[in-house]
Chains A and B, each alone.
Chain A
Amino acid sequence: MKQIILAAHFPGVNNHTVWSDPASGSQIDFASFAHLARTAERGKFDFFFLADGQRLREQRGRIHDLDVVGRPDSLTVLSGLAAVTGHLGLAGTINATFNEPYELARKLATLDHLSGGRAGWNVVTSSDAFTGENFRRGGFLEHAQRYERAEEFVRTVNELWDSWAAEDLVADPSAGTFARREAGEFAHRGTQFDIGGHFTVPRSPQGRPLTIQAGDSEGGRAFAAATADAVFSRHSKLQDGQAFYRDVKSRLAAHGRSPDSLKILPGATFALGDTDAEAQENADHIRRQQVSPQTAILLLEQLWNRDLSAYDPEGPLPEIDPDVSDDSIIKGRTRMYRDPLKTAAEWRALAESKKLGIRDLIIEVTGRQSFIGSPSRVAEEIDEFVQGDASDGFILVPHLTPGGLDDFVDRVVPLLQERGVFRADYETTTLRGHLGLESER
C-alpha cells in the first residue's frame, strides 16, 4: 500500500479563505503561521506550503477588496517557522520571473541549513507586465518563454547548489583550511542567464531542496517530468486525477527517472462533520461564507469579463453575453475560463433547471469541497484516491486561518494511521526523507 503524503497549505488570498467567520484570525501575524505549522507537525504532515503573489490583485482597475488581502514574504516566514517546528517540511512558492537564480539559490540553501534539511520551493513563472510593475527588472516574459526561463532557472539554481561539494567545507583549524579552493565555483552560460563566479552557501543538508512544480499545460508537465520532485496539481477528482497521474508518470522514463521519483499532489479542500449529513450542512455553510453576495457578482464578472455591479446577487443571470475580447478585467491572476460563451450557456441552463439566482448558482458551480463527510468517510476517500493512483497525496487547503486544519489532524489523521497508510511518527528529519526521495548529497 502506498503511504499518503500530506501537506498543509496556508489559506490563500482568494475567496476560498473565509474571513467573516468569528474563528477567523489574522492573515499576517506570525502566530497564525506558527499555529498552522504546529498543527501540521502534530499531524505528522510532510510539509507546510505557502502560495505567492507579488502584486495585489485588481478587478476592473481597482484593488480587489472582497477577499483576504496581504501576505508575508514566503521564505522569511518559513525561516521563522523553522524555529517553531522540528520535522515539518517548509515549502514556498517562488516566481522565477521576478527573482534571480543566484539570490534565490542562496535563500533556499540558507533555509535548508537553518531548518536542518526541510526546505522546498514551488517554482512558478509569470508573464504579466502587471506584476512586473513592482520590479526593477520590470518587464515580463513572452508566454512561450515562461517554461524556457523556468527550466533554465531551475537548472541554474541546481548548478549553484552543486557548486559546493559536501567536502568543500573543511573547517579544520589544525590544518588551517576552512574551505577548499574550488568551493562555490560556477559558470552558467545560457540564453536566460549568463552568470559566473562563486556561490556563498556551503552544501545544505538536502543538497538540493525539494523542487515542486505547479503548471498544468503541456509545457508544465514536460518541465515537471524533467526536473521536479513533486507536482502541485489541480486534479482533485478521481478520474481527472488518474489521467493526469498516468500522463505525468509515463513521461519520467524518458528522463531516466523512476515513477516514484516524482510525487503528484493535488490541492484539496474538505468539510467534516460527525455524520455525513452534518458534514454536508457544514460544507453548505462554508460555501455560503465563501460566496458573499458581493463575491458572487465578482466571480460572475470573472466569466463574463464585464462590469456586473448593477446586477442583483439574488436575481437571474445577465441576458447579455460574456465579453470574449482579449482584454481581461482581472489583473494579477490567470483567466480561468477557456470558452466563456460555452460555460455561460451551461450556467444559464443550470440556473434555469434548478431555479437558481446568481449567488446560489455561483455557490453551485465554483469551488465545491473535494472531500465532504464524517472523518471515516473522508479518510476512506483520501485513501482510495491515493491507492487508486489518482495522486500520491494531497496539499490540503483549509478555509480558516489559523485553526482550519485542527479537526482534520485530530479526527482524520488517526484514521489514516490506523489504516497503515500514513506515518504514526516521523522517521526521517528531512523533507526529501519524508517523501521517500533520495537526498542529493
Chain B
Amino acid sequence: MSAVPLHLAVALDGAGWHPAAWRDPAASPKALFTAAYWAALVAEAEHGLLDFVTIEDSLALQTTRLDGHDGRTDQVRGRLDAVLVASRIAPLTGRIGLVPTATTTHTEPFHVASSIATLDYVSSGRAGWRAQISGRRTEAAHFGRREVPELRLEDLADIDESPLVRELFGDAADAVEAVRRLWDSWEDDAVIRDVATGRFVDRDKLHYVDFEGERFTVKGPSIVPRPPQGQPLVTALAHARLPYEFAARGADVVYVTPHDTERARAIVAEVREIEGEVRAPDAGELKIFADLVVFLGENGDEARERKARLDGLDGAAYTSDAAIFTGTPGELADLLLEWRAAGLEGFRLRPAVLPTDLNAITRGLVPELRARGAFRRAYEADTLRGHLGLPRPVSRYAGSRR
C-alpha cells in the first residue's frame, strides 16, 4: 500500500492527441463541436474519479508549423472556446475539476479573472485555469494590437535567452498576478445585506487591486464576488527554466515533460530549486505533474499497432513534447509509480485517441493504480483545490482598508 495516492488528470483536445485520431473507428469527428461529445468525455473522466480534466485551446488554427498556417486538410482544425466548454459541462458533473486553457498574451486579464471566477460559481468550486502564452505571429494578427515577429526555432532552442519569449512570460506572470489579485478583491464576507443602513455590501471589504505591470494596469475590484474556492487552481505547462520560474511564482500545478525516470528526477530537482528561490512563502508547495501521451491496449503489441496505424494514416511518426507511452494499463501504472518515486505528485495524461484511451485510463489504469494502493476509491472533497489537498486561502486583502 503506497502512502500517498497520486493525482490524475486528463488533457482533452479534439479527437485525441494523435493528429489522425479523428480517423480512428472509435472517434466521432462530426461531433467534436457539440456539447454532448464533451459531456460524455468529462462524465467518463469523473466516473474514473480523476482529479480534473484540462481543455486545450488556442487563438489560431492548429498547425504542424511552428508559426504559420499549414493549410492541411487531413487533421482536426478548429476548436471551441475552452472556458465555455468547461462551463457547459459544469452543471452536468458534480466532483471533477474543470481546467480550461486561456491565454495570457491577448486575452484581457480582467476577462480571465471574471470568466474563471464565474466557472467556479457554475461548478461550485471546481474551476481551474491553464495559463498559456500565445507567442505566434498568426495569433497576434488576429488581434492586430501589436506587431510580433514570427516565432522561430531559435526562440525555442534556448527559450531562456529569447527576448521575445522573456517578454511573453513577463506578460504571463503579470496576467496571473492581476487575476489572482482580482479573485481576492472581494473579501468573503463583503455582502452584508444590512437593511438598517440600506447597504448591500460593506465597501471596506471591496479592494482596488491597482496592478501595474510593464505593459498593462488593472484597477479592480472584480465584478464577480470572491469565487467559491477563493483562488481557483492555476496551472501551467513548462519545458525550461523560464517557464519553471513562471510556474513557481504564480501556479499551483506545473506540468513537466520528462521522457524517462532520470529526467523526471532532474526536472523535479530543478523546479524545486527554482521554487525555493522565487516562490512566495505563503503560496504553498507547487505540485509537479508529468504529462504523458498514452496509447493503451490489452497488450503492448495492440497499443503499438494502434499507434503505427495512425502514424501511417498521418504520414509521419507521431512525436510530442511529452513522453509517448504505448502499453497496457498495468505497465503504465508501474511507470507512474516509478516516476512518482522520482518526486512527481501527479500526471496529466493525454489520451492519443478519444474516447478509447480515456476509457482505458478510467477503466484500466485506475483499477491498476487502486490495486497498488495509489489512487482514491471515492472523492473525498467537493472542490478542485480539495482534491489536491490545497486549503482555501484567505483573501490577501482581508482586514486591510482598501
Contact = CB atoms under 8 A, between A and B. Distances in A.
A19 interface: yes
Contacts of A69: 191, 200-201, 206
A399 to B, nearest CB: 14
Contacts of A184: 61, 77-78
A86 to B, nearest CB: 11
A288 to B, nearest CB: 12
A176 interface: yes
Contacts of B89: 83
A428 B72 CA distance: 37
B85 A114 contact: yes
A19 B85 CA distance: 32
Interface string A174-197: 001111110110000000011111
A173 B224 contact: no
A176 B72 CA distance: 11
Contacts of B110: 54, 98, 134-136
Interface stretch (A71-79, A213-221, A248-256): A71-79
Contact of B114 (A73, A84, A176, A292): A73
Interface residues of B, number: 77
A407 interface: no
Interface string B45-84: 0000000000000111100000001010111111111011
B87 A136 contact: no
Nearest to A189: B144
Given A73-B118, A134-B219, A173 B92 contact: no
A294 interface: yes
A136 B108 contact: yes
B395 interface: no
B27 interface: yes
Nearest to B144: A195
Contact of A65 (B78, B141, B203): B203
A84 B91 contact: yes
Contacts of B374: none
Contacts of A98: 108, 110
Contacts of A424: none
Contacts of B217: 133, 138
B35 A70 contact: no
A266 interface: no
A234 interface: no
Contact of B59 (A28, A102, A115): A102
A52 to B, nearest CB: 9
B388 interface: no
Interface string B355-393: 000000000000000000000000000000000000000
Contact of B35 (A67, A82, A294): A82
B35 A178 contact: no
A137 interface: yes
A259 B34 CA distance: 34
A289 B66 CA distance: 60
Given A55-B219, A71-B223, 14 more contacts: A19-B200, A30-B124, A34-B91, A63-B201, A73-B115, A83-B89, A110-B84, A113-B33, A164-B78, A178-B76, A179-B78, A201-B33, A202-B78, A292-B198
24 contacts: A28-B121, A30-B90, A30-B121, A65-B202, A66-B199, A70-B224, A72-B121, A73-B224, A76-B114, A83-B89, A83-B90, A83-B92, A99-B111, A114-B88, A133-B217, A134-B110, A134-B218, A136-B215, A136-B216, A137-B108, A176-B313, A195-B142, A201-B79, A292-B198
Interface of B: 22-23, 27, 29-30, 32-35, 39, 58-61, 69, 71, 73-81, 83-85, 87-92, 106-111, 114-115, 117-119, 121-122, 124, 138, 141-145, 186, 191, 193, 195, 197-203, 206, 215-221, 223-225, 313
Interface of A: 19-20, 28-30, 34, 53-56, 62-63, 65-73, 75-77, 79-80, 82-84, 98-100, 102-103, 106-107, 110-111, 113-116, 133-138, 164, 169-173, 176-181, 183-184, 193-198, 200-202, 292-295
